[in-house]
Amino acid sequence: MTKLERASFGSKLGVILATAGSAVGLGNIWRFPYMTGQNGGAVFIIIYVFCILLLGIPCMISEFIIGRHGQANTARAFRIMSGDTIWSLIGYMGVLTGFLISGYYAVVSGWCLEYVWASLSGKLLGNPDYIQSYFVTFSQDPIKPVFWTFIILLGTYIIIENGVRNGIEKASKLMMPILFILLLIIVVASCMLPNAEKGIEFLFKPDISKLNSDVFLAALGQSFYSLSIAMGCICTYASYYSKQTNLTASAVNISIIDFLVALLAGLIIFPAAFSVGVNPDSGPSLIFITLPNVFHQAFGNIASLGYIISVLFYTLLSMAALTSLMSLHEVSTAFLEEELGTTRKRAAMFVTIGSILVGTVCSLSLGPWQDFKLFDMTIFDLFDFVTGQLFLPIVGFLTCIFIGWYVPHKIVRDEFTNMGTLRNEHLFHSYIFLVKYVCPICILFIFLHQFGLL
């Protein structure tokens, strides 16, 4: 199959920041803190780091290899590497997964924008009951969540239609440094609160008694999801890499950034939570119900600091959501542009319209359509279940089997070593062992555990 001429990132910094932006998202700032809180704090983080090393980085390198070798969208890259065999279906499944996630992910991203607005207008300074009712009322509203979903997808479209260098790379170079600056500002403020040391201790002092199989599998799952593996994002972005890009170094750098953002998010939330006596295992409601009260109680007595911290935090959350949404959008945009032979602008428009429709249905399923259920789940929950608990593990598992057992090792080695120009042959053998044996077994464990089969 003929490879297409590809756009490319213009610099090494662009490669790192754009791909890190894909990985850094709500999984780091929303999911990681509540997973840490529910699974014992520091002991969860230690296992999480090992899982990134053993699972996350090898899986990411595998997608890098497929994307760069194919120099095409995810579906076509798998077709090129598999020689049009049945293995190419993995690529199509990855594209579908990315599109479906972009729809309901945009809904949650829209919630972040609403909370920026609510913070600016001072609506998040009420009592705890009001904060809880605010989220419930907003999320069930038939218009407001759909409006914010439209707004964040419109912003994503504007970035994507401008292409790889002038859109994705420029936006990433702007937003990722701002994201880190905001993180550091709020971390400093949070760690200076009374009793903040208890939250810091919770994050860094492991309690071995809390270590069990559930903690291990939870860390395994978090490492897999937080790096945006198996959604087509990593593979698509890698198709814009030059042949000189060091794939192993890129995967390590991106994983470090991803972990640092998650850890900094923990340093925001847990010191503040312990400072006001809030239980650290508040669960998924942590960001939109528990945290506004934490900020108000922790910072409310210091002039307008509670107001400022709340605005900064939800701005940070919105930017993290947008960088991930860009990569999800690009998966489908690149697919339509190349497979239909259309313009990038038109492809991006089709994806945006499709995502708005999916997002609208998902949003309404939490409000006016909440009584309509399939398999005893709302449409929103069904999308989350099908993509997160079925498609992602399956695509990740099959990708590892594909690279480890099907693709000729010479092709994999050539990409891994940049045609022998990198002296990392010893690392290659370790990588192959992990991707052939360790990664598939770990992913299979995650898959079986979530259905109570392990």
pLDDT 10s digit of each residue in the chain, 454 long? 444 456 678 788 888 888 888 888 888 888 888 889 888 899 999 999 999 999 899 999 999 999 999 999 999 999 999 988 899 999 999 999 999 999 889 999 999 999 999 999 888 876 777 888 888 899 999 999 999 999 999 999 999 999 888 888 898 898 989 988 989 998 998 898 888 899 999 999 998 888 888 888 888 878 877 888 889 999 999 999 999 999 999 999 999 999 999 999 999 888 888 887 777 666 666 788 878 878 877 776 554 777 888 889 999 999 999 999 999 999 999 999 999 999 999 999 999 999 999 999 999 999 999 999 998 999 999 998 888 888 988 999 999 999 999 999 999 999 999 998 888 788 999 999 999 999 999 889 888 877 777 6
Rounded CA-CA distance 176/181 in Å is: 9
- If phi > 0 it is left, if psi is from -120 to 50 it is alpha, else beta; for residue 163 that is left
pTM of the model: 0.91
Q: Provide the CATH number for the domain formed by 12-449 in this structure.
A: 1.10.4160
Widest pairwise Cα distance in the chain: 65
How confident is the model over 335-356, as pLDDT tens digits?
A: 999 999 999 999 999 999 999 9
Say which residues have a Cβ less than 8 Å from residue 432's Cβ, sequence separation at least 6.
404, 409, 412
Rounded CA-CA distance 64/128 in Å is: 46
Per-residue model confidence (pLDDT) at position 358: 96
Per-residue model confidence (pLDDT) at position 93: 95
- If phi > 0 it is left, if psi is from -120 to 50 it is alpha, else beta; for residue 121 that is alpha
Give residue 232's identity as a one-letter amino acid code. Answer: G
Per-residue model confidence (pLDDT) at position 1: 44
